Amino acid sequence: MNPFFNPMPTQCQAASFLEDGAGVRAFFGCVGDVVTYAEVCRDPRESEYPFPPGFDAAALTLGAVANPEACGCTSLVGSGPGCWKANDFSSNGHNKYKDDPRHFYVHIKACA
């Protein structure tokens, strides 16, 4: 189950899904009429990314925002319908999680 699954479009949502309780934030929504998914959405209130274990996911979830930039995202994963390879920790410069064998894909459809 994707920790970011939320049927409401245009969301900036934080979630914890790493084994040690650390977490990340992602954007999913329609920018104009184009469905968009972005990751590595930092927050100026947190100096670490991924967010450290014990972070407050509710406080870092912004809800409805206009675009990935408003969510602090620096990595556009997919724009438009398709199946996109999302970021994983082993290849994204996160040395602490370099041995994490998981790979993530995002299947997104058109905006309604």
In this predicted model, what pLDDT tens digit does every residue of 40-76 receive, in sequence order? 899 988 888 888 888 998 899 998 899 999 999 998 8
Residue 20 reports pLDDT greater than 50: yes
Question: Using CA atoms, how far apart are residues 32 and 19, in angstroms rounded to an integer?
Answer: 36
Domain boundaries, the chain: 11-108
Dihedral angle computed from the Cα positions of residues 34, 86, 69 and 30, in that order, rounded to the nearest 10 degrees: 20
Q: What is the pTM of this model?
A: 0.80
Mean pLDDT of the chain: 81
